[in-house]
Homo-oligomer: A and B are copies of this chain.
Amino acid sequence: MRATLIHGPRDIRVEDCPYPQLLADTDALVRVTAACVCGSDLWPYRGVTETTEPRRIGHEFIGVIEAVGSRVTSLAVGDFVVAPWANSCGSCPPCRNGVQVACEHRATWGGTDEHGLPVDGGQGEAVRVPNAEGTLVPVPGVSDPDEKLSKSLLALSDVMGTGHHAALGARVAPGRTVVVVGDGAVGLCGVLAAKRLGASRIIAMARYEDRAALARGFGATDVVAERGAEAAEKVRGLLGGVLADSVLECVGTAEAMDQALACTRPGGALGFVGVPHGQDGLPMGVLFSKNISVAGGAASTRAYLPELLEDVLAGSINPGLVFDSVMGLEQAPEAYAAMDERRSIKVMLVP
């Protein structure tokens, strides 16, 4: 089969790889109908994190179950499933606590499982899924989704659940004022999540007109293009002299975190989901004196999938709009380049 590998900075290749087989009785084999490129895939792509040897890449995919191991009973061949970006067993203490990202038996897409056996990346024609029952979420009544539905289902694998995680970390609730730092797919989904949770005012920080328009479509009441201290002052002006109750940090850089902190009112809450890069640490003095709470981290999208899936199937949210481009799997190198150069918000790859 064909699948992507990263060889080094700006070197993504689509190559021939062995078609996966079941290796454990808790595995499932999924034929991928759509995958995508994540903002976090751009860190090794840009060389910010090192790639020491060629490796499979991609951790968001949807598809059809082709085979299941003998101990898999809640999933069946033919089921259409969403794979969360983080594999999880579903039964260890962290999984039971709804923190599947800390699963004690977690396998890594494009890496290995807990037994050291290779696991396929998501950007390919098929994937062996360890811990299948704990990981995969079947989509009831759907066997062959159209492109629009595929996009929204694929968004549930990571970006929509991650935006929701940021909103929960920021304690978004009816009547709260919200700022979203980051206009990538996660930030935009953060806007949608804040709207879904009843925020009264949602200020999206965006500089590109297409992203600003999508943010407005997702529920942003205001868009701010300024950065740093200027952005915070703009927020204060928009909110009648006070800063925001809830701030979502969806980038991961020190600048974004500083901006997020500067926009949060005393006693406010900051939800962070950007993978930290170049951050020295959260400034304790600011947190202490301003009483800012901080919550978030890697999102257990598996935990949120059932409720978000229900809303997607009901048509009440359409997170798939973050996919402004669809390409064939063979075009993966171009998909990375388009996202890196911000020509595309997020690209869906179809094997």
Contact = CB atoms under 8 A, between A and B. Distances in A.
Interface of A: 93-94, 97-99, 101-102, 169, 241-242, 257, 265-267, 269, 272, 275-276, 279-285, 287-298, 300
B99 A266 contact: yes
B298 A287 contact: no
A74 to B, nearest CB: 24
B282 A282 contact: yes
Nearest to A99: B267
Contacts of A282: 281-282, 284, 287, 294
A190 B102 CA distance: 28
A167 to B, nearest CB: 14
Contacts of A288: 272, 275-276, 296-298
A91 to B, nearest CB: 13
Given A102-B290, A276-B285, A282-B287, 19 more contacts: A93-B241, A97-B266, A101-B289, A102-B266, A102-B289, A102-B291, A169-B293, A269-B295, A272-B287, A272-B288, A281-B281, A281-B283, A281-B284, A282-B282, A287-B296, A291-B296, A291-B297, A293-B294, A295-B295
A341 B102 CA distance: 42
Given A99-B266, A295-B294, A279 B284 contact: yes
Nearest to A294: B294
Contacts of A294: 282, 287, 293-295
A181 B99 CA distance: 24
A267 B294 CA distance: 12
A300 B291 contact: yes
Contacts of A279: 284
Nearest to A292: B297
A267 B298 contact: no
Nearest to A92: B242
Contacts of A269: 295
A256 to B, nearest CB: 12
Contacts of A300: 267, 291
B291 A293 contact: no
Contacts of A276: 284-285, 288
